Amino acid sequence: MAIFYVDGSYDVVMTFKNDPATTRAALNAVVPWLRGEAEMPARAVLAQACRQSARALAAKLPGHAVEVRVPPFVAVQCIEGPRHTRGTPPNVVQCDARTWLLLAVGELELAEAMRAGTVEVSGSRAGEVGKGLPVIAI
């Protein structure tokens, strides 16, 4: 956890160490499901894969201009630019866990997901998230 004093107020930011081996292991646990070779994993397994991969994306593309949301598991900010702190951010990428994980491992391109309507993208900078995908190609 880091505490910053900015413009007369304190801001608490949770920081997470990005461990590529842990991220790869979390993603490897869901790949058979993503490829249709296994049943859907337990909620905790999905949550871990979503959290690890989203945080890895945030480490790969640091910043606060775009928020990536994978409800109900994780939301991270990434991409250099103006910091967003309250309300709905102007640049958002949101999708379900399966779509996010397909993007994270390189089984789906962001542009393809946008065309198919499986990813909600708003704001002029949201598409820049594609520069960090796949998070870890498997």
pLDDT tens for 64-93 read 999 999 999 999 999 998 776 777 788 999
- Identify the segments of the chain with pLDDT beneath 50: 1-15
Cα angle, residue 108 at apex, residues 68 and 81 outer, rounded to 5°:
30
Question: For residue 53, what is the enclosing H or E element?
Answer: helix 43-60
Bridge partners of residue 120, in order along the sequence: 94
pTM of the full structure: 0.86
Cα distances (angstroms) measured from residue 70 to each of 41, 46, 128? 16, 11, 17
Q: Position 40: which residue type?
A: M
Cα distances (angstroms) measured from residue 46 to each of 19, 28, 37, 70? 17, 11, 16, 11
